[in-house]
């Protein structure tokens, strides 16, 4: 489901392109790569174990979808010569994304599925044109790369079902173009790991939508991220975060916030309908789903 969602986003970014779904025979596939030199969109959905080095000759390729290939463990070196590629969607079998991804200078959308424990510096963080980064179903991933501040054009960051993810880099608060942040189903993640222990000056962020869901290890919301978005954040959703017990004081300063949704977070729901109500009373639309009473409180 996550993969299909990511593919839809990538296609919407690039618009309509000429497409070719890869043939089922390896020999036919290599022949196709020779004959269709001006191909702009390619989907390989049949559990390829190897991709021919010849793919690096497709200089006009804009969209490459490898999502259905659970047996594909490594990418050919030539693939990083695709300097016009704008969308790359990777599959579940990939053992690692090499640093050479930094040479894909036109990349705007990346769906990353990897078996790595840590994303290395000098790779993804060098993609200055990247607008959407979708990280999903990375069962081994514990740490992202620390140089995310290099993603100067990143507007959408989505992290879903990374069961081993422990922390987020503090460089996230320097994503100067980030508008949409979604983190779902990361059972070991503590959002406070992205916070500086001592922060004298809050970095402004253009975030408009923030979604935190199914994060049982998180004890508190990242106030530096929220406070940095005080003049832009319009929607905040908190779902299935049972150990978050209160909203930070800075929520009262979110001047543009139009909608707050809290669901399946009983301690937070109770607090927000009681002593923390003054923090959120200024928000035009408030939906609080109270799990214990099976009722919804709306404003």
Write out the DSSP string of 271-289.
Answer: HHTTTTHHHHTT-SEEEEE
Residue 66 has pLDDT above 80, yes or no: yes
Band of residue 299 on the pLDDT scale cut at 50, 70, 90: low
Give yes or no for a contact between 34 and 54, defined as CB atoms under 8 angstroms apart. Answer: yes
The whole-angstrom separation of Cα 134 and Cα 155 is 11
Mean pLDDT of 54-59: 90
Give yes or no for a contact between 40 and 61, defined as CB atoms under 8 angstroms apart. Answer: yes
**CA-wise closest residue to 137 among 103, 162, 120, 157:** 162
Give yes or no for a contact between 64 and 48, defined as CB atoms under 8 angstroms apart. Answer: no
User: b/e per residue, 201-228, with b = 16+ CB within 10 A?
Assistant: ebeebebbbbbbbbbeebebbbbbbbbb
User: Is residue 279 exposed (0-12), middle (13-18) or buried (19+ Cβ within 10 Å)?
Assistant: buried
The whole-angstrom separation of Cα 267 and Cα 252 is 19
Share of the chain above pLDDT 70, in %: 84
**CA-wise closest residue to 244 among 270, 210, 277, 280:** 270
The whole-angstrom separation of Cα 107 and Cα 188 is 30
The whole-angstrom separation of Cα 69 and Cα 21 is 13
Q: What is the pTM of this model?
A: 0.88
73-102 pLDDT, tens digit per residue, is: 999 999 999 999 999 999 888 999 999 999
Instruction: Output the pLDDT for position 23.
Output: 47
The whole-angstrom separation of Cα 111 and Cα 43 is 14
168-219 pLDDT, tens digit per residue, is: 999 998 999 999 999 999 999 999 988 876 666 788 999 999 999 999 999 9
Band of residue 51 on the pLDDT scale cut at 50, 70, 90: confident
266-288 pLDDT, tens digit per residue, is: 999 999 989 989 999 999 999 99
Assign residue 239 a region (left: φ > 0; alpha: ψ between -120 and 50; beta: otherwise).
Answer: beta
Cα first-last separation, the chain = 32
The whole-angstrom separation of Cα 265 and Cα 202 is 28
Mean pLDDT of 103-122: 95
């Amino acid at each position: 489901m996550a993969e299909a969602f990511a593919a839809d986003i990538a296609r919407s970014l690039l618009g309509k392109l000429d497409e070719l779904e890869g043939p089922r025979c390896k020999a036919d596939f290599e022949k196709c790569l020779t004959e269709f030199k001006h191909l702009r969109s390619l989907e390989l959905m049949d559990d390829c174990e190897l991709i021919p080095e010849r793919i690096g000759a497709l200089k006009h390729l804009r969209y490459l979808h490898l999502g259905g290939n659970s047996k594909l463990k490594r990418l050919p070196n030539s693939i990083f010569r695709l300097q016009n590629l704008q969308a790359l969607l990777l599959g579940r079998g990939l053992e690692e994304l090499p640093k050479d991804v930094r040479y894909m200078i036109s990349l705007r959308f990346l769906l990353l599925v990897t078996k790595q424990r840590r994303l290395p510096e000098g790779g993804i963080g060098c993609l200055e044109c990247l607008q959407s980064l979708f990280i999903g179903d990375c069962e081994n991933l514990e740490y992202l790369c620390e140089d995310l501040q290099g993603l100067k054009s990143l507007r959408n960051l989505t992290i879903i079902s990374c069961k081993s993810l422990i922390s987020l880099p503090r460089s996230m608060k320097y994503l100067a173009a980030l508008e949409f942040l979604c983190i779902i189903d990361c059972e070991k993640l503590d959002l406070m790991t992205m916070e500086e222990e001592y922060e004298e000056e809050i970095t402004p962020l253009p975030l408009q939508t923030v979604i935190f869901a199914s994060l049982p290890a998180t004890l508190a919301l990242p106030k530096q991220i929220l406070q940095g978005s005080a003049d832009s954040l319009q929607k905040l959703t908190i779902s299935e975060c049972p150990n978050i017990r209160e909203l930070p004081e800075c929520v009262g300063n979110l001047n543009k916030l139009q909608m707050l949704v809290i669901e399946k977070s009983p301690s937070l729901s109770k607090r927000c309908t009681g002593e923390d109500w003054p923090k959120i009373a200024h928000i035009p639309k408030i939906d609080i789903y109270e799990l214990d009473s099976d009722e919804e409180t709306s404003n």
